[in-house]
Amino acid sequence: MSARQPAARAVRDSAATLWSVPTMVDEPKGRAAAIRSRSKIATPRKAERLIATKRKELATLDDEFFGEVVGVAQAIDELRKALNQLSAALDARHFEKASSLGYGKVAEEFVFLQRTLGGLQGACLHKEKLVSDLAFALRCPYEDVLPKVDALLESARPLDRKQRIANRKKAAPQIRAAVEALSQKFGKDAGVGIDRTRRRGGRA
């Protein structure tokens, strides 16, 4: 028994030494640096400086939003006029005229409204991408960057009535030309459909 005691004590001492000294594993320097850099969140001043470097992109966004919004507003006005004409025809019991307006003027203006809304959605996607890229570069949430971007966008500021009217008048000629082009196209399509219906002696 006495001969085994030194051997047992040596084993215990060896085990204690192994458990008391933790083994350190060095991380690759490149990976460690990347982790440290990802954990750093940009300061407000750095965020403002970085966003300020995107003034050209923000100005382009402003132009895009202004153009698309004016187009949507003009399309809404034209669609409202067409619907008013349709409503008046129904009230007067001019059903054939009402049907013609529905297939012609109302359909044309509705299609044009959809196209302008598609352009507005495209502008929104461009803005979302810019904000997402900035958020990634700053290592901060999208929601924190969005207000800073909106503060620099003129198109993000609400307009009063006078500004809306002025913008619509300014863009009216170009928008009206687009509406008329669509009217001619869909007017021909509607005319062909009505002619086919009459030849069949009933509904299409």
> pLDDT tens per residue, the chain (204 residues)?
555 555 555 545 554 444 444 444 444 455 444 434 544 566 778 888 888 889 899 999 999 999 999 899 999 999 999 999 999 999 999 999 999 999 999 999 999 999 999 999 999 999 999 999 999 999 989 999 999 999 999 888 886 777 666 666 665 555 555 545 545 555 555 454 545 545 555 444
SS3 content of the chain, % helix, strand, coil (to 5): 85, 0, 15
What residue segments make up the domains of the chain, in order of their start? 49-200
Contacts for 39 with CB less than 8 Å, ≥ 6 apart: 139
pLDDT tens column, 85-107: 999 999 999 999 999 999 999 99
Check residue 202 and give its pLDDT: 47
pLDDT attached to residue 32: 43
pLDDT at 24: 45
List the structure tokens of 80. Answer: 């409202």
Note the pLDDT of residue 158.
Answer: 81
Determine the 3-state secondary structure of 9 from DSSP: helix
Q: Concatenated DSSP letters for 134-186?
A: HHHHHTS-HHHHHHHHHHH-GGGSPP-HHHHHHHHHHHHHHHHHHHHHHHHHH
Tokens 């025809």 sit on residue: 89
pLDDT of residue 129: 95
Task: Please check whether residue 117 is in contact with residue 133, taking contact to mean a CB–CB distance below 8 angstroms.
Answer: no
